Structure 1
């Protein structure tokens, strides 16, 4: 444990790989597990039933694993689970889950989480996301893979953001944002699809053409959501490469409730 600073307070019950580095004045609780190669900066507090994977970079002044900001919480042993190779910048707050939401707040792999990001209880964050400074998720929010949140984005509880989506700075989401959509505003409105991001990730011209047709069905053809879903379902006839993208979109829309709806 030579990589633990002499001023850090690490509970004897914590399980830290021998290669973990812990900075000055950091406090680590008894139910914390940290995987190989992870570095933890100064003045962090990591508590609760928190599991952190391999090769994460956790900068100074973070609070990870505190109890949820939920008045119903009564001390149940809920969890925070963080995957591998994430970068967590300064002053982030990630809370554990709650009994009413599955009991786990989860962060996947290879995410880039900038300063002052808040993940409330029972949030689920996928892989390869980017959260710019001051992105804030209320409880029970789901963010799928490859999403980019602009600075000061605020997401209402129970909202879902589909894969490859993007929000502009200061966006406020009250409704589900389907895959591939770019939104902006207060409340957020769909502006386009994330075409440039898809090209950078190697999407073929055929797949992008299908995604453009999805955007047209959802936002340009004056269709009901049910009619748009039917039109999107037929896209694989003309764009066979798009089958996984169409399936992802239809699955997302099928889970959208009338009460929540999608960004329009």
Structure 2
């Protein structure tokens, strides 16, 4: 049987794996599912149609699954899906999807959401994403795997952030960020590539060099970006990172692409 502190309130309809541990003063709603070895440390609220995968830990005063901060929300049966092996720290908020979006909010596996991070309705987070303290995602944001969003950074609604990107602290991100991109600034701009992250994740030097060359050509200040993009063919590149960037740029977007500041 799950281990539930006597001061916690768990709806009888909630589905709890036998190895779940729920500390004091938690509230778990009737449509919640908690997987193997999930831990709610204390003062955690999990409501709505929320599923949480194995070995995820949630720390005090986190609020998961309550209705989104969207005036258009009409009580639709949307969901929150949180994968396995995540760490969700104090005061994190995660809201479910809406009928204006995916009807779901998704957090992948192995993510770390630090103190005060906010994941709004219809956001999709890949695996191993890190949101540093008080990072804020507007609705409908998509974050690729292995991306780090710095403390106090804010990402505008509908922005896409590619895999392995790095968003600097206190950055306001209003446009899409290419995979492996490095972003900084109060009104953020693209500021090169996340080379340290690429090296840490074992990318071959040849692939990194090819991506650097492609970046310089794509974001050159001469000519037209669309014309420069036409010179590349993702299928012909030997570098997986280059293919990732080109495929991302050619994907559907409602916010446009973040570029470097003009010198």
Which whole-Å deviations, capped at 9, do the CAs of 1:105-130 have from their partners, x for residues lacking one?
00000111100010000000001111
* Equivalent pair of 1:165/1:178 in contact (CA under 8 Å): yes
Cα drift, residue 177 of structure 1: 0.5
Q: Deviations over 1:47-79 (max 9, x none)?
A: 000000101011111000011111111111100
| Paired residues for 1:1-264 under 5 Å | 1=1, 3-233=3-233, 236=236, 240=238, 242=239, 244-255=240-251, 257=253, 260-264=256-260
Aligned in 2, Cα 1:225/1:235: closer, same or farther, shift over 3 Å? farther
CA RMSD of aligned residues (A): 1.6
Q: In 1, Cα distance between the equivalents of 2:155 and 2:223?
A: 26
Find the aligned partners of 2:234 and 2:81 in 1 and give their Cα distance.
39
2:241 match: secondary structure: helix
Residue 225 of structure 1 and its aligned partner are, at CA, apart by 2.8
Residue by residue over 1:132-164, the C-alpha shift from the partner in whole angstroms, topping out at 9 and shown as x without a partner, is 100000000000011011101100000000011
1:220, CA displacement in angstroms? 2.9
Look up the SS of the partner of 1:100 in the other structure. coil
Secondary structure in 1 matching 2:65: strand
After superposition, the Cα gap between the structure-2 partners of 1:25 and 1:159, relative to the gap in structure 1 and judged at 3 Å, is same
Alpha-carbon displacement from aligned partner over 1:202-221 (angstroms, at most 9, x marks no partner): 00011101110122023235
Aligned 8 A contact 2:2 2:20 in 1: no
SS in structure 2 of the partner of residue 81 of structure 1:
strand
Paired residue secondary structure (1:42): coil
SS of the residue 1:105 aligns to = strand
1:52/1:258 CA distance change after superposition, 3 Å: closer
TM-score (norm 2): 0.94
Measure, in 2, the Cα distance between the counterparts of 1:223 and 1:150.
33
Distance, in Å, in 1 between the alignment partners of 2:104 and 2:253 is: 23
- Paired residues of 2:14 and 2:33 also in contact (CA < 8 A): yes
CA contact (8 A) 1:233 1:246 kept: no
Q: Cα–Cα, structure 1 residues 52 and 208, in superposed 2: closer, same or farther, change >3 Å?
A: same
1:218 and 1:155, CA in 2 relative to 1: closer, same or farther beyond 3 A?
Answer: same
User: Partners of 1:88 and 1:232 in 2: how far apart?
Assistant: 40
| Larger helix percent | 1
- Structure 1 residues 244-253 or 39-48, which shifts more? 244-253
Structure 2 unmatched runs, 5+: none
Q: Show CA shifts across 1:172-195 (max 9, x none).
A: 000001111101012101111011
SS in 2 for 1:208: helix
